[in-house]
Structure 1
Amino acid sequence: MSAEAQSALLLRRQLKELSKNPVEGFSAGLADDGNIYECEGGFFKALLSFPTNYPQMPPKMRFTSEMWHPNVYPDGEVCISILHPPGDDKWGYEDAAERWLPIHTVETIVLSVVSMLSGPNDESPANIEAAKEWRENNKEFKRRCRAIVRKTLEG
């Protein structure tokens, strides 16, 4: 069996397990029934794109809904340690154990992102303006986030 066939089989198994035991406040499914490597889901829509050498390398996650968060780039890409390639961080910020490991599953990714959304890491922001507002004007940060939630519900 090829590595690509093994990764597709692993993803099918993990997605089936996630549908049986969903993460509270999160739902996921295939973005396209013909492509096991792209999952879509969540209250805020996000796309999880897996490489064909998964689980050796991490997927990428990008919110397609509007987001205002210190750890989400303005284009929606999620910046979280477990989605960074395995090994040592060339800047020395992240420990190798915090980065991608092949033991991570769709469920651990989702749990980590849900945790990140509720508890931002503003020490290494992807969105500097959101991090600054989170630190310096938390009341405005929360107001802006509530407005985005309302907009998402209406949309």
Structure 2
Amino acid sequence: MSTTPNAAASGQNSGSARLLQRQLMEMKRAKDLPGISVGLVKDTNIFEWEVMLMINDDCKYYGGAYFRAYMTFPAEYPLMPPKLVFQTPVPFHPNIYPSGELCISILHPPEEDRYGYESASERWSPVQTPETILVSVISLFSEPNDESPANLDAAKLLRAEREGGPKEFRKRVRKCVRESLGED
């Protein structure tokens, strides 16, 4: 008995949906995920999650912040990575494109990096989960990666500040935090 391509895709899709449903429920029940809240954008679509990240005062995003993002999972999940896109206001961050899309190694497809910057072990692997992704994102707010920036302006300002230059990065981040809190 042969399986048609559509039937195979449908089977993968339903397997992905069951996995995502289980992972969503686990995250909602987890008591050890401070600063992370997840839900569905629409109750009828398990492949699109709304994420709220509450960044604490102890990181570079001085004064704490609330950032909303959408995490969209492909039908091939967990074999292929989801995409995480911050909604307005988009955080001023070296690893977030001005469009809001997050750039982090673990969300890059599981293939050789054509530029040779990342090893295959740093890229997407099916052992990653929405929880590990979001914990990595929270950590990226504490320690931005300016080595391979998505936002060149943010990376340049961060480097200059680390080298004793003007506190322009901090100033832009504070503005971003105020916007996220509805103060601007």
Describe the SS at the equivalent of 1:144: helix
Larger gyration radius, structure 1 or structure 2 = 2
Q: Structure 2 stretches of 5 or more lacking a match?
A: 1-9, 53-65
One-letter amino acid of the counterpart of residue 147, structure 1:
K
One-letter amino acid of the counterpart of residue 27, structure 2:
L
1:27-84, Cα deviation, whole Å (9 max, x unpaired): 1110111110011121201010000110000000110132100000010000000000
Describe the SS at the equivalent of 1:13: helix
Identity across matched positions, percent: 52
Describe the SS at the equivalent of 2:36: coil
Residues of 1 paired with 2:44 and 2:130: CA distance?
18
2:154 is equivalent to residue 130 of structure 1? yes
Give the match for residue 67 of structure 1: 91
Deviation of the 1:140 alpha carbon: 1.8
One-letter amino acid of the counterpart of residue 122, structure 2:
E
Give the match for residue 97 of structure 1: 121
Residues of 2 paired with 1:24 and 1:143: CA distance?
26
Q: Structure 1 stretches of 5 or more lacking a match?
A: none
Deviation of the 1:100 alpha carbon: 0.2
Q: Runs of 4 or more off by more than 6 Å in structure 1? A: none
One-letter amino acid of the counterpart of residue 5, structure 1:
S
The Cα RMSD (Å) is: 1.3
So what's the TM-score if we normalise by structure 2? 0.81
2:112 is equivalent to residue 88 of structure 1? yes
Residues of 2 paired with 1:24 and 1:144: CA distance?
25
